[in-house]
Chains A and B, each alone.
Chain A
Amino acid sequence: MTDHKAKTSKVDRVDLDTLGFISELGWAPLPPWARYLVNVGLFVARMEADAPLARIGIALPSRHFASHLVAAGVVLGGYEREESRAPETYFKMLLDLPEGTAVSLRSGTVLKKGKIVGSRNHVEYGTQLGVQVEERSSGGQTSWLHAGLSNRVEVLPGDVTLPKHQKGLKIAAASGLVEEVVRPLDAARFTENAEELCVVVARRTPFVDEASTLMLAARSAGAISAGAITELLRIQGDAKDGGFRTVVTPVSAKSPPKNLIDLGPTTVIFEGPVSYLRWRHGFEQAHWIVLLDRTEPRFAEAAAQLDADFIERRTDELSLPPATSEIAGLELMAHREPRGR
């Protein structure tokens, strides 16, 4: 999917100032460390598609919530990119794809799987892209979309088999929290499948459980919209309706799932020393954000490996976003390395 990415033309950015949580005293802004972690995720997701690979290590006093906050940043940054791409450029990229390419097609509040079947010239709308959503034997229902509708189409990894009849998946309405946080972007498409997935290598069950307990709240114009961070993350296998934006792959697996590698994720978050030590070679062509809890048993080993990577592979420095004040407890190392090694 990353190969098909169009460069951003204009950038509408999410505003973290509205994001906070409900404390005993009411709405409160995110603590500086939490906000910074979201910012790191945003920063990496906002990097140009062909930018050298980011290698970021962060040492923390506790692993709790850290990967969720960074992942929220990655998801929001990825959504910014999706929303800000120029329709004409994206449409041209879709037209250049071979016939049979698997895609998803949003139609009203329903998401269908489909295949590209080429293009045609319409007297009124000009060039149109054809997306077939049902099998040929039952009529081969096809939608024809002009450039202005191209954002309804997302390229899917692998192949797709079309059914004879397809009702499609109902797309969930964005929650109040999502609407407030992604503003000024259009929140409607947020609940669809993401073009850019955020991959987290973590202990899956604790990650998913914690995602439902970390309550955030966005404040705007006196109103507060609260919800769990899981609404922003939209975790595969956990998000009830619509698509997903985060894939959590268990650290205990013997190797990364092949379909996940095929997706070519742009950014991978390694939660904890073991996930990084065991799986770092599985995602060489993605940006890395490695979160290391200082209290975990293999912390020193993982930090030493990050150091070794820094010495052997860095090409230049990577300046991370500045914090408004020094944040005790967070320690960082960051560098870049070229793609395609």
Chain B
Amino acid sequence: MRSLQEIDRLYSFCAAVAVQQHLITHAAFEAFSRSTWWLTREMNTLPPHDPLRPLFGQLRRVRFDLAAAPLPATVALSLEAASELESKLRALEPAYTTLRVGLEQLVEDMHALLRDPANPMFERIADLHLAAGGRGAVVVAAARLLAPTQRVVVESLPDAGLGAVAASSLRGTEVYDVLYLAGPARWFPQHVISAPRAPSIVVVQHDWIRDRPESLPSFIESRGPGGVPRTAALNLRLTTSGSPSLNLYGITPEELKPKLDLTVLSESQRLLGHSGVDEEAVEATVLRLVDDIVVLMDGSDGSFATVLDFERGGSPVGRMQVRDIEAGVFVVLRTEGSGDYVLDVANQLLGERAAEARHQQREWKRSLRRAIQTRGADVVISELQRSGARRANPQNLRNWASERNISTDDRADFDGILHVTGLAHRSEELWATMQTIRRAHLKAGAHIRRQLIERAGKVEPQELQLAGHMEFSLEDGGGSLTAYRVEEVRPERLTAFASQLDRPLRIDG
């Protein structure tokens, strides 16, 4: 139970927050960053699907991880991963005459960094915390860096009152004596500084990153309660320790942060592969989820996603049209097995009949898609209407041809399709099979939903909100589902194959 005094403490932090910025030096990491930076600039001249791009995505991520968490280099990039990366780079090197010197330098700097045992970011935090005492926490901007950071903190300073938290956790009423931000302030949500959960914030960043902590006003015409215009959300008492590096000074936090590059995403999707040449392509909505995970979802009308919504009465498990999804919603995705978990469970329920039933389903859908490709959608719709498919229209035609849809709801529409595609003689057989599949899907959906409701019922909404994601294991080998908070609905649409939808994917950029 919260009290007014507890909340009052949060306001008191706003009145007196002190921010210290510590610029740290790490020569080996700076050299690695410099060679990565130089080659990243050169990358801009390469074509979108150039094979060097994904390798560079990995290196950029290593650079970000080391700048955004107090980790030893070998945690961010294992020796095995480095060796594999080196072999790939060396294999590609001959094809890039202008980049050869830069690539050589990069490999050399990477090895020098891995040989260097120093972890100056953690050393600085440890020194400061041991001197200051109290309850502190290292704050990481990316939640996936939390576990390795916690390990480093617990192993190195077991009883010092120091822990680790993700920036997204600093939303509740838990407070600290001091928060150590790993990396430049701009990587953290504004509220970490403008709604502080400690009276003292220490920003520890490498000296070649150009950034200065600030507290931006929330509105263009911000005023204080006294009516005085505000140029900042809070008046920070900022002090800086250390000097900017003269060698690489000027890299901004934005340049370092992994980017959601849809070119890379397209490439990753291509590498994921799809089931065959006849597989349908859909216009996919791109959702950026918590922790820089991306998922493509069917963006067409009538496509639904499973969501967790704790605002509704009763069970939080619900369905929402993909086009209505907005930032803050939790989407539930399969994180073990294929993206379509209902399909997998339905196939289990169908047992031995599954392969033949799916074959028959694909058969008439492929025939329909071929008819659309060869004769055009308008002609096929006219033919369907003449054959008794009264609901034939562009949207329904797309749905009927989609692998993600089982069949028409109405028998007359189904018979119309079989007539137009030359399969009329198999009407009874195919319709019966589609009904069998439909029943299996309904049963599978209910089975999964029941489990999800049971598990979601035990979730503390606040806990999920703080973590940003949560995994639920299903029984009977059903794999696991994860609820992810949507951070952004991207304005772009991507063309994707059905088998590539609903699969969470991390993009190295």
Contact = CB atoms under 8 A, between A and B. Distances in A.
Interface in A46-64: 57, 59-62, 64
Contact of A333 (B10, B223, B328): B223
Nearest to B2: A64
A251 interface: yes
Nearest to B224: A326
A332 B11 contact: no
B228 interface: yes
B219 A57 contact: yes
A228 to B, nearest CB: 12
B7 A331 contact: no
Contacts of A64: 2, 7, 173
B112 interface: no
Interface centre among A203, A250, A332, A334 (most CB of B within 10 A): A332
Nearest to A30: B4
B191 A36 contact: no
A299 B192 CA distance: 13
Nearest to B487: A297
A59 B233 contact: yes
Contacts of A158: none
Contacts of A65: 2, 4, 7
B222 A333 contact: yes
B171 interface: yes
Nearest to B232: A331
Contacts of A331: 217-219, 222-224, 230, 233
B393 to A, nearest CB: 26
Contacts of B11: 31, 33, 61, 327-330
Interface in B287-341: 309-312, 326-328
A218 to B, nearest CB: 14
Interface in B173-199: 173, 189-191, 194-196
B352 interface: no
A274 B170 contact: no
B466 to A, nearest CB: 10
A317 B194 CA distance: 26
B131 interface: no
Which of B10, B14, B228 has the largest number of chain A CB atoms within 10 A? Answer: B14
Nearest to A62: B10
Interface residues of A, number: 54
B219 A333 contact: yes
A248 to B, nearest CB: 12
B2 A213 contact: yes
Contacts of A251: 311
A292 B234 CA distance: 15
Contacts of A322: 225-227
A186 interface: no
Nearest to A325: B226
A21 interface: yes
Contacts of B311: 203, 250-252
B15 interface: yes
A290 to B, nearest CB: 10
Interface in B1-24: 1-5, 7-8, 10-16
A334 B223 contact: yes
Contacts of A215: 4
Contacts of A297: 327-328, 485, 487
A210 B2 contact: yes
Given A59-B219, A320-B225, A300 B230 contact: no
A152 interface: no
B220 interface: yes
A156 B11 CA distance: 41
Nearest to B309: A252
Interface stretch (A92-100, A102-110, A113-121, A301-309): A301-309
A300 B223 CA distance: 17
B35 to A, nearest CB: 35
B190 A326 contact: no
A34 interface: yes
A31 B170 CA distance: 23
B492 interface: no
Interface string A165-204: 0000000000000000000000000000000000000010
B2 A323 contact: no
B195 A295 contact: yes
Given A210-B2, A319-B227, A300 B190 contact: yes
Nearest to B13: A61
A10 B340 CA distance: 67
Contacts of A90: none
A329 B226 contact: no
Contacts of A210: 2
Contacts of B7: 62, 64-65
A326 B220 CA distance: 19
B2 A333 contact: no
A303 B218 contact: yes
Contacts of B327: 297-298, 301
Contact of B220 (A307, A328, A330): A307
Contacts of B487: 297
Contacts of A146: none
A214 interface: yes
A31 B4 contact: yes
Contact of A327 (B4, B217, B224): B224
A9 interface: no
A183 B191 CA distance: 40
Contacts of B170: 295
Contacts of B224: 323, 326-327, 330-332
A296 B5 CA distance: 21
A60 to B, nearest CB: 8
Contacts of A23: 5
Contacts of B196: 61
Nearest to A61: B195
A79 interface: no
Interface string B206-226: 000000000001111111111
A310 B219 contact: yes
Contacts of B190: 294, 299-300
Contacts of A298: 326-328
Nearest to A34: B4
A300 to B, nearest CB: 7
Nearest to A299: B191
Interface of B: 1-5, 7-8, 10-16, 170-171, 173, 189-191, 194-196, 217-228, 230, 233-235, 309-312, 326-328, 485, 487
20 contacts: A21-B4, A36-B225, A59-B222, A61-B191, A64-B2, A213-B2, A294-B190, A295-B189, A295-B195, A297-B327, A311-B220, A322-B225, A322-B227, A323-B224, A328-B12, A328-B14, A328-B234, A328-B235, A332-B222, A332-B224
Shortest beta-carbon contacts, A-B, top 10: A252-B311, A329-B14, A328-B15, A61-B195, A323-B225, A59-B218, A333-B219, A295-B171, A294-B195, A328-B14
Interface of A: 21, 23-24, 30-31, 33-34, 36, 57, 59-62, 64-65, 203, 210, 213-215, 250-252, 274, 292-301, 303, 306-307, 310-311, 319-320, 322-323, 325-335
